[in-house]
A and B are shown apart, each in its own frame.
Chain A
Amino acid sequence: MSSSRIASPLRTLIAHELRTLRREGTFSTLLGIFSSVTLFSVFIGWSTRSTTIAIYAATVTTLKAAGVSHIAPNPLLGVSTLSIFNNLIIYTLLVGALLAIVIGHRSFVRDRKSGVVPLLLSRPAGRPLYIAGKLCGISAALLFILFSMFVVSALSTLLIPALHLSGGEFLSLAAFYTVSFLYLAFFAALGLLFGVYMSNESLALLAPVLVWIAVVFILPELSTGQNPVSLLNPVTLAHVPSSGTFFSSARAILSPFSFGQDYTALALHFLRISPGALDFGTILKLLVASTVAGAASMFALQKYSTTADQIA
């Protein structure tokens, strides 16, 4: 009995979060952006792959004409079809995270600007539940969007015969979207956390963006010595890190916070671009990071004073 009583306000909060996301057009905008990005990367992947196959045929003809007898088999045969999605890693790593930040940020700032925070906090549901409702609502929205991306990518591989995927590859693709969810959930929670914690709206938006820059650019650069643009090239992502003591010691110190590199490594694994065994510790790390960010938002709301809004 008591559980249904607790569940009811949570359900209300989640439903409200989803409804506002839909009403202010955020949801449709995000769905549009993510679906187009998925289609676009399939298009790039497919056109590059088919051109490369055609180039192989042309190369074979050229080499045969030149009298070469031993011609290497198509090197593309060793590359999984899933690799056509390689661009999605970068798009999720970068813009996916930014969009997740915006959702999390808006979630609380919207309530604050419309002046309903004191109304909500004076209800019997309690502050942690209020944040839990927001986090669950945002997660549900992200899951729906990622599921749509999965459907779009799965459908496009079914429609284009050249991009045939095996059952195992479909599962891998699903796993790729699952780890993408963990990564995005971390940034959404971060957006919410700073939204609650900082009363200055501009700084509240900027702070998680700065964390994003650190995670995606600064930490990887310090631990590999790669320039920012080469860190964003999906083709060379599986790069060997730079040598030198500075970089190896930086790598050791910074690795607990390198969520961007963790996500990239997992994504490369699931899209079968980089070989090697799956590191479950990395998945656990992403999961813990999202949970900690969510819990921190609850803590920040406990400390939150509604009178600050009236002064600001």
Chain B
Amino acid sequence: MKPKQSEGDSPAIEVRGVTHAYNGHTVLHDLNLSIPAGEIFGFLGHNGAGKTTTMSILTTLLRQTAGEVKIAGFDTLSQSIEVRKRIGYLPENVTFYNDLTVYENLAYFARLSGVEEIDAKIDETLAFLDFRGVEHKRLKTFSKGMRQRIGIAQAILHDPAVLFLDEPTSGLDPMGIKNLRDIILRLNRERGMTIFMNTHLLSEVGKTCTSIGVLSMGKLIYTDTMEHTRRKYPDEASLEEIYVRMETAETS
């Protein structure tokens, strides 16, 4: 299964000079970022650094004050519909229509994404997530972990080229976190999806991501591949220590 094609050989995500101001405060300063297709990109930063604002801009939910964003080669402002056809998005603490069944919820979002063979697609996706048999249950009875899986299902049903995950491990138990990690890796490996993930959990980043970026007070202070990062900081035992060093260097 191949995800939807990009425009030419353009990077999956390209951010040029993006600035965003809100109520007179600049929350993002001149962001520049290029993520090639096929990466699993971990976007790090403390609370309030501007990660969710960045993700909202990348997913067309928010219009940046200045700068340009292209997803799979399409501009988020002038070609937002084309962008939306190529992205999947899982917000933090996802909610659904509780009175509808899993099938009805998924079919709804699938139709809105232009999926044609709805039943087959839902079946295939639930099988991929190892979550068959819940189709006709209403969502109000579901636990946090189950909802999270439905959240992923709605995000990947239409085979997006780029998948955006906002703090996907938030509130999950260790088993849930492990399952999620496996899903992310398989989506990347088997379906070739580019994944952009906001997260706090540095241990997870170390285990899943192929490249990272660090945002501090609205500025992108670091971005590189995982491999280079480890080489650059040979003295630090864990990613956590690397992150702390970067943040301290930035603030001091």
Contacts and interface: CB of A to CB of B under 8 A. Distances in A.
B140 interface: yes
Interface string A285-312: 0000000000000000000000000011
Nearest to B99: A200
Contacts of A311: 140
A312 B98 CA distance: 8
Interface string B121-146: 00000000000000000001000000
A312 B140 CA distance: 7
Contacts of B140: 311-312
Contacts of B98: 312
Interface size grouping (class) on chain B: under 10
Nearest to B142: A311
Interface string B77-119: 0000000000000000000001000000000000000000000
B13 to A, nearest CB: 33
A311 B142 CA distance: 8
Interface in B173-208: none
A311 B140 CA distance: 7
Contacts, number: 3
Contacts of A312: 98, 140
A312 B139 CA distance: 10
B159 to A, nearest CB: 32
A179 to B, nearest CB: 42
A311 B98 CA distance: 10
B137 to A, nearest CB: 14
Nearest to A310: B144
A312 B141 CA distance: 9
A312 B147 CA distance: 12
Nearest to B144: A310
Interface in B204-237: none
Nearest to B141: A311
A86 B98 CA distance: 47
A143 to B, nearest CB: 35
A178 B164 CA distance: 58
Interface in B23-63: none
Interface string A179-213: 00000000000000000000000000000000000
A312 B99 CA distance: 11
A135 to B, nearest CB: 31
Interface in A253-312: 311-312
A312 B95 CA distance: 10
B7 to A, nearest CB: 42
A297 to B, nearest CB: 25
A183 to B, nearest CB: 36
A312 B142 CA distance: 10
Interface in B137-169: 140
A261 to B, nearest CB: 38
A19 B98 CA distance: 33
A311 B138 CA distance: 12
A21 to B, nearest CB: 23
Nearest to B143: A311
Nearest to A311: B140
Interface in A28-45: none
A137 B170 CA distance: 37
B142 to A, nearest CB: 9
A146 B40 CA distance: 61
A107 to B, nearest CB: 24
Nearest to B98: A312
A302 B217 CA distance: 45
B131 to A, nearest CB: 20
A128 to B, nearest CB: 30
A65 B140 CA distance: 80
A73 to B, nearest CB: 65
B78 to A, nearest CB: 36
A203 to B, nearest CB: 12
A231 to B, nearest CB: 36
A165 to B, nearest CB: 48
A199 B7 CA distance: 48
Interface string B57-80: 000000000000000000000000
A168 B217 CA distance: 66
A52 B140 CA distance: 62
A113 to B, nearest CB: 12
B100 to A, nearest CB: 15
3 contacts: A311-B140, A312-B98, A312-B140
Interface of B: 98, 140
Q: Which 3 A-B pairs have the closest CB atoms?
A: A311-B140, A312-B140, A312-B98
Interface of A: 311-312
